[in-house]
Amino acid sequence: MSIPLDHHYLPEFFQKRWTADADPLVWRFTRPYQKLDVKRVYPSQAGFVPGLYSVPSRQDPVAKQALESGFMTPLDTLAAEALRYIEEHGKRPEDPKLHDGWTRFVMSLIYRNPRAVAHLRKKVRENDEATWADIEARYSAMKSPDDPPTYEEYRRAAGTSLTDESEAKLIASMIDNAAIGTYLNSMHWRFIEFGDPKHSLLLSDDPVMMSNGLRQLEGFLIVPVGPRTMFIAVNDLRVLEAFVSQGNRMQRALNDAVVRQADHQVIGSDESHRAFIDRRFKVAPKESNEHWSGAMRLTWKAPIVWKP
């Protein structure tokens, strides 16, 4: 059994949607320094970080990579199946397993990228001492017969395992958040294909364009699912109509969000966006139509003005 060491935050099946039948490569745009770096690579060579989801304190090599092999890989497999169904039938899956599979995948795109993972790990570490203080206060009552006799011995024996395990659980729980997932399932879904787009759509490590809060009337979530196709979820169909009415401006706006949010790399089906990406990728300042939500991501506004 091979142990996955290259953990893809952009799964290969998803990146392959930016390839052509006769050309299995994607265009990868990175900015390791000041200059934009552009390469043509296989999807297996893009959208990953070695050991991104590893649990370092686990001794067993398979268990160390279990968040990737036992959580992310099955999640991606189900998402690929759901996407095939949607494209074949032109509607959301009736099978709850596939329906939820697509929702979980969309959620994962928010929380599995390197910046989000680093943010979640940081949050766990910030709370680490408070957690240990709580354990210390309750250790005598909570310890089992197999545990060390004192809290100090327990902490020395535990090392970083408590923090590591908490990080892994938090990453998985954010993706599987039942409240958000259920709400996303309840929204209006559409997969919109642009027949001959002026601007082919781009992909990045943070490709979800989202409003500041999904539950408001104008709430929405958009994800590119190929160079000509996007997924959109809305609360109000008037918001959907407002986006669709934008035409080519919608494609450009989605690309603008996908590139500005990117922190690691941008993926395209061709090189035509080089100048567009160069002007937006890892540059500041942010503009009035957007603002950082917490420490993790940008949020965006729908192109709609509500009539009184």
Residues of the chain scoring pLDDT < 70: 1, 159, 197, 284-296, 305-308
Q: Is 302 in contact with 283 (CB distance < 8 Å)?
A: no
- 204 in the same domain as 87: no
Task: Give the tens place of pLDDT for each residue, 113-139.
Answer: 999 999 999 888 888 777 778 888 888
- 212 in the same domain as 117: no
**Around Cβ 288, how many Cβ atoms within 10 Å?**
6
6 domain-assigned: no
Exposure string of 127-137, with b = 16+ CB inside 10 Å and e = fewer, is: eeeeebeebee
Q: Is 186 in contact with 149 (CB distance < 8 Å)?
A: no
237 domain-assigned: yes
Tell me the CA distances in angstroms from 87 to 15, 245, 285, one per residue in order: 16, 23, 38
2 domain-assigned: no
- 162 in the same domain as 80: yes
- 193 in the same domain as 215: yes
- 116 in the same domain as 200: no
Q: Is 163 in contact with 128 (CB distance < 8 Å)?
A: yes
Please say which residue of 111, 146, 176 terminates a domain.
176
pLDDT at 306: 67
Please say which residue of 146, 176, 206 terminates a domain.
176
- 196 in the same domain as 150: no
101: which 2 tokens?
Answer: 């599979």
279 domain-assigned: yes
- 259 in the same domain as 242: yes
- 160 in the same domain as 54: yes
- 208 in the same domain as 139: no
- 61 in the same domain as 40: no
Tell me the residue range of the domain where 42 lies.
17-46+187-308
181 domain-assigned: no
pLDDT at 296: 57
Give how many domains the chain has, as a whole number.
Answer: 2
- 273 in the same domain as 209: yes
Please report how the helices 151-158 and 128-142 are oriented relative to each other, as an axis angle in degrees rounded to 10. 130
- 124 in the same domain as 39: no
Please say which residue of 142, 176, 210 terminates a domain.
176
Q: What whole-number distance in Å separates Cα of residue 208 and Cα of residue 221? A: 7
9 domain-assigned: no
pLDDT at 189: 95
pLDDT at 302: 87
- Sorted by sequence, the CB contacts under 8 Å of residue 83 that are 6+ apart come out as 102, 225
pLDDT at 162: 80
